[in-house]
Amino acid sequence: MNKRPNLFGPSGGQGSHSAGPHGGTVRAEVLLNAGAFTRTAWVGALLIQLSCRAADPVWVGQWPGYVRGPAQAVVVAGDYAYVACHGAGLQVINIRNPTNPVGIAGCDTPGTAVGVAVSGNYAFVADYDAGLQVICITNPAAPVRVGGYDTSGSARAVAVSGNYAYVADYNAGLQVISIANPAAPVRVGSYDTSGTARGVAVSGNYAFVADGSAGLQIIDISNPVAPVRVGGYDTSGTAQGVAVSGNYAYVADFAAGLQVIDIRNPTAPARVGGYDTTGYAQGVALSG
C-alpha cells in the first residue's frame, strides 16, 4: 500500500520521500532522541533509526500497520506511539523495544484519522470530515472514545495547549475547541485563514498555521475566544505542515521543500533559509 511521504530535513526534522521495505513511500511524523549519535523516527507505520554519522537512515524495526490502514500521523508518549491510521482510526503501538514494535490496541473513529496530538490521558484526533475526536488513553491497551466535535471544515491536524485544541480545518481555517471537559468539547473561537489550513503548531500566545497556497499564517491566540491574525509569510510552495522551536518556524512546503522562517517578530516573519528536498515535503518535526 502506498504511504504518503514526508521528509528528513537538515535540522533533524522531516524531509523527502523515502522508500520503505514494503515498497511505495512512507510518511515521517515524529523524531525522538535516542543517544548522542543516533535518532529514531516513526515513518508511517514503520520505525527507522537515523545515525547522525550515516548518509542514509537504517530500518531497525517495523509495525505492519499497512494491513490496517495507511499511517497519516504519529505522536510518541512514553513507551507508546499513537498513530492516526486513516480509516482504521487511532492505533496504539508499544515501542518499548524499538526493534519489535507491537500493536496493542485500536479505537475506530467515525471519520478518517489524519492527525493526532496527545495531552495527559487523552489523544486528540483530527478526523477529517468527522472533526475532532477525543480518546481516553489512560489505559493504552484499551483506548476509548469519550467525546468529539464536528468542525465545519475537514480537520487535517491538531495541536493542544492547556484547555484548548487548535484544529487546522482546511477550508474553515483555524478552529479553537475547548477541551476543559473532554467528554463535551465545544468550539469557542475560530479564524478563517486565506488559504487552506493543513497543519498547526502552538507556541506561547501564537498558533502557526500551514495554510496551503497562503504559506505560513501567524494567529494571536492570547484570547482563544477571539483569535486574530498578526502576520504571515507567503512561502514559495504549498505549506503542508509546521513545527516551531525557539525563534523559528519550520515549514514543510511541498515541492519547495523545507522553509525556515524567523518568527522573532510575529508581525513580520522573514525567511532565513531553506532546503530543497528531493521529494514533496508534507510534514515536519524537530529534535534537539
Contact yes or no for 134/145 (Cβ under 8 A): yes
List Cα–Cα distances, 230 to 127, 257, 266, 267, in angstroms: 28, 25, 7, 5
Instruction: Determine, yes or no, domain membership for 93.
Output: yes
Cβ–Cβ contacts within 10 Å for residue 158, how many? 29
Cα 225 to Cα 219: distance, rounded to the nearest angstrom:
12
Provide the number of structural domains found in the chain.
Answer: 1
**What is the pLDDT, as a whole number, of residue 57?**
63
State the cell numbers at 9.
Answer: 530535513
- Spell 104-115 as b/e; 16+ CB within 10 A means b: ebbbebebbbbb
Task: Give the SS3 label for residue 67.
Answer: helix
Range of the domain at 250: 28-275
pTM summary value: 0.85
Q: Which helix (DSSP H) or strand (DSSP E) does residue 93 occupy?
A: strand 90-94
Q: Which helix (DSSP H) or strand (DSSP E) does residue 115 occupy?
A: strand 115-119
Instruction: Determine, yes or no, domain membership for 16.
Output: no
For residue 264, give the CATH number of its domain.
2.130.10.10
Cβ–Cβ contacts within 10 Å for residue 279, how many? 16
Contact yes or no for 15/277 (Cβ under 8 A): yes
| Nearest to 50, CA basis, from 95, 18, 4, 79 | 18
Instruction: Determine, yes or no, domain membership for 15.
Output: no
Contact yes or no for 163/153 (Cβ under 8 A): no
Question: Residue 246: which residues within 8 A CB-CB, separation 6 or more?
Answer: none
**What is the pLDDT, as a whole number, of residue 4?**
31
Cα 68 to Cα 70: distance, rounded to the nearest angstrom:
7
Instruction: Determine, yes or no, domain membership for 286.
Output: no
pLDDT, tens digit only, all 288 positions of the chain: 333 333 233 233 332 223 333 333 334 344 443 333 344 555 555 555 555 554 566 677 777 755 567 888 989 999 999 999 999 999 999 989 888 889 999 999 999 999 999 999 999 999 999 999 999 999 999 999 999 999 999 999 999 999 999 999 999 999 999 999 999 999 999 999 999 999 999 999 999 999 999 999 999 999 999 999 999 999 999 999 999 999 999 999 999 999 999 999 999 999 999 999 888 899 888 876
Cα 101 to Cα 188: distance, rounded to the nearest angstrom:
39
Instruction: Determine, yes or no, domain membership for 42.
Output: yes
Sign of the dihedral defined by the CA atoms of residues 201, 76, 46, 127, in that order: negative
Instruction: Determine, yes or no, domain membership for 94.
Output: yes
Cell 480518546 belongs to which residue? 135
Question: Residue 4: which residues within 8 A CB-CB, separation 6 or more?
Answer: 25, 27, 44, 70, 72, 282
Instruction: Determine, yes or no, domain membership for 87.
Output: yes
**What is the pLDDT, as a whole number, of residue 170?**
98
Instruction: Determine, yes or no, domain membership for 53.
Output: yes
